[in-house]
Structure 1
Amino acid sequence: MGLATRLASLLGAGPIPLGRKVAGAREEKSAGAPLYGGAFLLTGPGGEGRVARSFEAMARTGFMGNPVAYRCVRMISQAAGAIPPVLLKEGRELSDHPVLRLLARPNAGEDRASLVETLCGYLLLSGDAYLEAAAPDGAVAALYGLRPDRVRAIAGRDGWPEAYEYRVGSSVRRFSAEGDDGRLAQLLHLRLFHPLSDQQGFAPMAAAAAAVDLHNAAADWNAALLKNSARPSGALVYQPADGANLSPEQFDRLKAELETGYAGAGAAGRPMLLEGGLDWKAMALSPKDMDFMEARHGAARDIALAFGVPPMLLGIPGDLTYANYAEANRAFYRLTVLPMIGRVMGALGTWLGGHFGDDGLELGVDLDAVEGLSVEREALWARIAGADFLTRDEKRLAVGYGREG
């Protein structure tokens, strides 16, 4: 089977069941859209379509099954988790506050960096992240990130979520979207922009799904070539003098010898001994089939583009968007990491500030701790230091610090 045929079978030529067919389920989601356990096919003109995967299928085939997507998610989430938070109130930085102490140790099994990494990872993989505030005595004592595939938003009459259900096995817990008995909501829902949904976010992994399939298919193609002596297959031509064909017993014996003695990377280059009348004809790959390597690199660039990671940072060849690694790293932080962590910290500050009865809190990040932005920081400090018309407090505010005192 050629690469084009293999890719077509993965990327839309017919439904792709990513699990067992659901017993008793309707045969069609809509006209021409068969429903499967874990995936349903969205068809378009000409019968082509894409698979809308569940979170588990996306996590397994993308994050756990593709090195480029895995690295993108890890780079973004780890970089976001490594930036320390800054808590401000009315423009002044607070060095000690219950919110900071809670974030430093959100629960018994995680620190702040681990919790932020989890939330960012869920956002990148599913478009949604949920954070539960455990308050057994009325005051928030711990924070827990919840798996998004276990949470279901329940829409009200106006279309917006009025409650959330968290299901683990047969256990179901319900959270009010606005809180109960005058208290604030116990569940914080973070989501990325989705143009077609009021309850769920749209994940970068979903946008990169086709590229992930292409990249995985190209990797499978390479592995298949390696298992076949790292070369395309050929043909054994039998040309006997009397014109007779091989008997079934001769054919089976020849096939068994080829599979046991000449297949696999360990048998690469082993000379083949042919009996009388047999001739080996090698079959070379066509230029179209040989293009699979460039197709794999192109798919890797598309995956990096969907996540906002410069391909240069991933070692993908053929990308010259940035002049050097340092410039690509600055773009990675400015265009991807900082917007992500800013969204998370902004929502956390407002939510936790309400729980602690302090509505004037603003939670941000310490940009001075980002090593990748050190060049920009030095240039900013030089410009601010030379601005004699600014007061000391104005200079502090201009570089991201609060007022003195």
Structure 2
Amino acid sequence: MGFLGDFYNKNIKLKRQNAPSVVGVSQPLRMQFRFMGVNQFVWNTVTTDDFVENGFLGNGVVFTVQDWKSQKCATARPLVYQKRDEKSYRQYKSFLTNPTKDSFLRARDIQFKALEEISGHEMQNVLDNPNPFMTRFEFEYGLTAYLDLTGDGYIFGARDSIDGTTGKIREMYLPQAQDVAGVMNGYEITKYYLQSNPGTYIDARNVCHLRNFNPTRRIIGQYHKGLSRLHALSPLVDSYRENITAEASIYADKGVRTMVFPKGQMDPNEGSIEQKQSMRDLFNQQLKESSAGGIITSSVEVGSINLGFNPKDLGLVESRQDIKIDICAAYHIPPELFGWGAHSAYENLPTNRKIAITDAVLPEYEKRINKYNQWLTPSYDPDGKQGLVIGYNLDDFNELQPDRNELATWMERVPGLTANQWLEAFGYGAGNDENANKMLISTKFKLLEQIGVESFEGRPGNPFENEDENG
């Protein structure tokens, strides 16, 4: 085969020797991504624009639920931490997976052992001020909304290196998710661009892509395109809009029509056509006046009958209520939070708020934090030796704050806590006393020797020993 052939064979052998063993196993899976070849494609179709325009902006129920969730997801401030103990950190993260009432208390307690907040870190400045045009709240709010409405959320990063693909990420920008498109090379996306500005490309290393799970095969680029939450809700969104339109039409037509007619029989030959038309015009005029508070008078005995149905008879109100509940269920938010459920909005408000945070907000926030740690954190800690991680403080969610008596009861069961841990758990901040970080042992528990009782087997110190001997 000659020199080139020998070089090719040797090169292939070296690559196979140095390649990770997982490549051979994953090769059939990677082939699924190669069906598009090398090309440029737009995966956010007009459907996502419809979801934003008709779902979020054109539907009051979707807007209300999405607005609440987006605000809550923007409440907690992402913080830069340094891991104190790897094992405790893994336990802390596990407690936040499918959280319960007790797991929150344990997570809050172990957080002091697992993580130490770093104040004034340069990465914290990026999280607090993502770019000159948006506040942190606007940025986090929009990221949540795009992820729910379009199925995708994108963050474009600006680095401080000359080539623009290495170095620290100094600014983060939030593009409109429905405007983002990608260029694939085989099975991976190499660059992105905005459909509104197709001539400018963004290297894939500078893009953080969050997406929802997408099971459908009908969407081109399904492995790189998230599924909108409104895909499943689109029939409900359409039904709600039709419901509102029907009710508005009924009210525009004054709802139920009342038809008035003269009682008894009338001779059709009695009176001319002109007289009948004149009588009809006069009757209609008086009828309009009566609807505005006037009085209609007639020398003819009349009867009436109601024609049509009002919104209540048609079940429009009940149907719309059911749609509201179904939309809330898709967002994992109790409808009682908005006064739409079967019970009063304030009947069990604290519990409903806590359920909404644990089921709807925290999973979304965990997804975001994990992406930050995969994309943003390595630009400041490439080898992981500094132990930097991005997290959040559970105390930022007022709904998750336990009752003080409940918290005190729980902490009394945990041995060896320090005074500072008690102070910080109740929101007072750490103290500077030299003993503030020393373990506290409850005085309720003492050794038997300290209270003069060694055992109950007749040994010295047992007050019942003499009673047994003396009968």
Q: Normalization by structure 1: what TM-score? A: 0.69
Q: For 2:169, what is the secondary structure of its paired residue?
A: coil
CA distance in 2, matches of 1:372, 1:282: 51
Q: 1:370 aligns with which of 394, 397, 407?
A: 397
Report the CA distance between 1:287 and its aligned residue: 9.7
Which amino acid letter does the alignment assign opposite residue 149 of structure 2? L
Specify the alignment match of 2:267 in structure 1: 241
Which shows bigger deviation, 187-196 or 286-295? 286-295
How far did 1:352 drift? 1.1
TM-score w.r.t. the length of structure 2 is 0.60
Matching of residue 342 in structure 1 with residue 366 in structure 2: yes
Is the Cα contact below 8 Å between 1:164 and 1:176 reproduced in 2? yes
| 1:228 alignment partner AA | D
Q: Please give the root-mean-square deviation of Cα atoms over the aligned residues, in Å.
A: 4.3
Amino acid at match of 1:192: N
CA–CA distance in 1 between the matches of 2:76 and 2:340?
A: 26
Assess, with a 3 A threshold, how the Cα gap between structure 1 residues 105 and 289 changes in structure 2: closer, same or farther. same
1:56 shift after superposition: 2.0
What is aligned with 1:66? 59
- The structural deviation recorded for 1:316 is 0.6
Residues 193-208 of structure 1: matches in 2 within 5 Å? Answer: 193-196=213-216, 197-208=222-233
Mapped to 2, the partners of 1:274 and 1:63 lie a distance apart of 53
Q: Distance in 1 between matches of 2:349 and 2:156?
A: 39
Shift in Å at residue 99 of structure 1?
1.3
What's 1:4 paired with? none
Return the alpha-carbon distance in structure 1 between the equivalents of residues 297 and 57 of structure 2: 43
- 1:189 pairs with one of 200, 204, 209: 209
Partner of 1:116: 140
Aligned length: 338
309-318 vs 322-331, which deviates more? 322-331
1:318 aligns with 2:342: yes
Which whole-Å CA distance do the structure 2 matches of 1:118 and 1:276 have between them?
67
Q: How big is the shift at 1:329?
A: 0.4
> Residue deviations 1:208-258, cap 9 Å, x none?
2222222222222222222223x22455779973279x989x99x979x97
**Change over 3 Å in CA distance of 1:219–1:61 after alignment to 2:** same
Query: What residue identity is the alignment partner of 1:112?
Result: R
Report Cα offsets for 1:48-81 as digits up to 9, x if no partner: xxxx962222122221122211111111111111
Higher normalized helix content (fraction of residues):
2
> Distance in 1 between the 2:214 and 2:356 partners?
23
2:333 pairs with 1:309: yes
Distance 1:210 1:296 in 2: 13
Residue type of the partner of 2:199? Answer: V
Q: 1:383 maps to what in 2?
A: 410
Partner of residue 152, structure 1 = 181
Q: Which of 185, 201, 205 in structure 2 is aligned with 1:174?
A: 201
Give the 3-state SS of the residue equivalent to 1:82 in structure 2.
coil
**For the Cα contact (< 8 Å) 1:350–1:362, is it kept in 2?**
no
What secondary structure, in the 3-state scheme, does the structure 2 residue paired with 1:108 have? Answer: coil
> SS at the partner of 2:224?
coil
Q: Greater share of strand residues, 1 or 2?
A: 1
Q: Distance in 2 between matches of 1:127 and 1:173?
A: 24
Cα deviation for residue 100 of structure 1 reads: 0.6
- Whether the 8 Å CA contact 2:337–2:345 is kept in 1: the answer is no
Equivalent residue in structure 2 for 1:75, among 60, 65, 68: 68
- Quick one: percent identity of the two aligned structures? 21
| Larger Rg belongs to | 2
